[in-house]
Amino acid sequence: MQNPTAIRVGHVEVEDLWMDIETRNPMSEAEVILKSGMTPRDGSRVRCFRMDGTLVSGYINPGTTVIIGSRTPSKHRIGRIANCPKCAEQVDVPDDQNIHATCPSCLMEFNLLRMHHLKVLWSRQMDSKRMYGSGPIGKGQIIHIPGVKEDEVVTAIEVARHSRMNGTTHASGYRIRGPRVPYEPGDIGIVQSTGPSRLMLFDPDTQKASIEVRILENSLEATRREELERGKRHFWKIKVLSFDESDRTVIASVERNYTWRGRNRRRFTSEGIILSP
């Protein structure tokens, strides 16, 4: 978790190098570069980049993360920024906090989940088991939703977004249906695998992630095997098998083809048995 009384500083060229500059007051870009000790010996110019890839303008507040370098950080290091609804401060959102965030300035906790009503304008069949539908959610903003088709009109919950170098914003989300029965068998949802909102789906009744997801044991075991093979993922894509309206719970399996994209070195059945390539 980000220290609210420090500016966290990384370097473009060294991914595992991070340090905290303790301060309770905003600092200029030049001060941060100087105190970090990351001033180039050859005198070349470096800048501070925020976690969405944009250059710092003005002062840097405590609780903020920046990356110092002579070029924009690579895409896989660029994170997200949310605007605090109370004081409008830009808040860096770390990878483990994709549903809630805390503003370091006013300490307000706020929900990052956004609801969108849209028509799916494009769909793409990734392979025999994966399909994404996409549509606009604002100027220069596109959301990608697993398991929906072109021309469908859907309500989607946005769980994450990333800014691209060309200025467009690409969001990820999942479809919800009516408030009484928000999920039907076959729907693809997105849940966090860790953190305080682990295995929770959005509930229109409570307007927050409060529907508990129960993963089938054989699917969970197969997912753990996949994690050992391909690494852990913060978000799991799940297939809804049933929804219990009375206790607001979902029975589901992890859709490993969606969660881990690309070719796998080894594949497993839902029971965790290794398949030959």
For each of the chain's 277 residues, which pLDDT tens digit applies? 556 788 989 898 887 788 899 998 999 999 999 999 998 888 889 999 987 778 888 899 888 889 999 988 875 566 566 666 666 666 766 554 455 667 777 776 665 678 899 999 999 988 777 899 999 998 888 999 999 999 999 999 988 777 676 778 888 899 999 889 999 999 999 998 877 678 999 998 887 888 999 999 999 999 999 999 888 888 899 999 999 999 999 999 999 999 987 544 444 444 444 443 3
Residues recorded for the chain: 277
φ and ψ at residue 113, rounded to 5 degrees:
-70, 130
Q: How far apart are CA 56 and CA 70, in angstroms?
A: 13
What is the predicted pLDDT for the residue at 268? Answer: 42
Residue 184 is predicted with a pLDDT of 97
Residue 175 CB burial class (10 angstroms; 0-12, 13-18, ≥19) = buried
Q: Are 12 and 73 in contact (CB under 8 A)?
A: yes
What are the sequence ranges of the domains in the chain?
6-79, 113-176, 182-277
Identify the CA nearest to 116 among candidates 51, 186, 169: 169
* CATH tag for 113-176 (out of 2.60.40, 2.40.50, 3.40.720, 1.10.3470): 2.40.50
Summarised one tens digit per residue, pLDDT across range 81-118 is: 666 666 666 676 655 445 566 777 777 666 567 889 99
> Can you give the chain as a three-state secondary structure string?
CCCCCEEEEEECCEEEEEEEEECCCCECHHHHHHHHCCCCCCCCCCEEEECCCCECCCCECCCCEEEEECCCCCHHHCCEEEECCCCCCEEEECCCCCCEEECCCCCCEEECCEEEEEECCEEEEEECCEEEEEEEEECCEEEEEECCCCCCEEEEEEEEEEECCCCCEEEEEEEECCCCCCCCCCCEEEEECCCCCECEEEECCCCEEEEEEEECHHHHHHHHHHHHHHCCCCEEEEEEEEEECCCCEEEEEECHHHHCCCCCCCEECCCCCEECC
Query: What per-residue confidence (pLDDT) applies to 168?
Result: 83
CATH topology agreement for domains 6-79 and 113-176: no
CA distances (Å), 108 to each of 143, 149, 158, in order? 27, 38, 21
Region of residue 43 (phi > 0: left; psi between -120 and 50: alpha; otherwise: beta): left
Residue range 78-87, pLDDT digits in tens: 656 666 666 6
Distance of alpha carbon 73 from alpha carbon 14, whole angstroms = 10
pTM score above 0.85: no
Burial tier of 216 (Cβ tally within 10 Å: 0-12, 13-18, 19+): middle
**Which residues on neighbouring strands pair with residue 253, listed in sequence order?**
239
- Residue range 182-277, CATH number: 2.40.50
**Cα distances (Å, whole numbers) of residue 13 to 18, 30, 78, 212:** 12, 19, 14, 41
CATH architecture observed for domain 6-79: Roll (3.10)
At 238-262, the pLDDT tens digits run 999 999 999 999 999 999 999 987 5
